Amino acid sequence: MSKKIDAALKSLVKALEHHGEVMSDRPVSAKRAGRATEKVRQAASAYTQVVADKTGQPNPFVDFLDPETVQSLRGERDAIATKKTKKND
């Protein structure tokens, strides 16, 4: 993994963990929740930008596959799983 992707990933994970902690508080502070949410958004944006710059791949948080492609991929996945199960029998 490239250093930039690794650093962006670590920042995103840290932001998500903090967000989870804040959202687990009772009662949830609206200000803390807003700040934590913004940190997640910024970290996710930075991560997607680094990934795009390094790999040319699209944003991993956007559903960019059409329903037919998703259906086809699920079918392929299920067929592979079935083959593996039959091999192990």
Which residue range forms the structural domain that includes residue 7? 3-63
Q: What is the pLDDT of residues 6-45, one digit of tens each?
A: 999 999 999 999 999 999 999 999 999 999 999 999 999 9
Answer yes or no: is 43 within a domain: yes
Residue that has been written with the tokens 């079935």 in this structure: 82
Cβ of 24: how many Cβ atoms within 10 Å?
8
Predicted structure pTM score: 0.68
Q: What is the pLDDT of residues 37-64, one digit of tens each?
A: 999 999 999 999 999 999 998 888 887 7
Distance, in Å, from the CA atom of 44 to the CA atom of 16, rounded to the nearest integer, reads 9
Answer yes or no: is 69 within a domain: no
Answer yes or no: is 76 within a domain: no
Q: Which residues have CB under 8 Å from 2's CB, separation 6+?
A: 54
Asked if pLDDT for residue 88 goes beyond 80, the answer is no
The domain total for the chain is: 1
Residue 28 tokens, joined: 């949830």
Distance, in Å, from the CA atom of 80 to the CA atom of 37, rounded to the nearest integer, reads 38
